[in-house]
Amino acid sequence: MTDAVGSIDMPDAEDEAPESSKKTRKGGKRGKKGPLGRLALFYRQIVAELRKVVWPTRSQLSTYTAVVIVFVVVMIGLVTVIDFGFARVIKYVFG
């Protein structure tokens, strides 16, 4: 008799390995260190990730900052105009 996977008499490949041959990990390198060791590892990983960052040049940073400030000013103006418009409509409707 066969099912969708295969024969009942022949187990799947992942079922063939006996349970005793599977190794269980208990923490690895991090499990053996104390709290200060884990904190030092965390700090080293942060420094390693920050070294991978491509930092902008001063001119790029100035450009990005100017773009953000202009965008924020435009959005403030847009919201202000919409707010005054709604205030006039509310004043007209409710007198």
pLDDT digits (tens, 9 = 90+) for 33-48: 788 999 999 999 999 9
Instruction: Please state, in angstroms and as integers, the Cα–Cα distance from residue 26 to each residue in 32, 39, 92, following that order.
Output: 9, 19, 71
Report pLDDT for 62: 97
Instruction: Please state, in angstroms and as integers, the Cα–Cα distance from residue 29 to each residue in 26, 33, 60, following that order.
Output: 9, 7, 41
Tell me the C-alpha distance between 75 and 70, whole Å. Answer: 9
Tell me the C-alpha distance between 83 and 61, whole Å. Answer: 33
Tell me the C-alpha distance between 23 and 9, whole Å. Answer: 26
Mean pLDDT of 9-33: 58
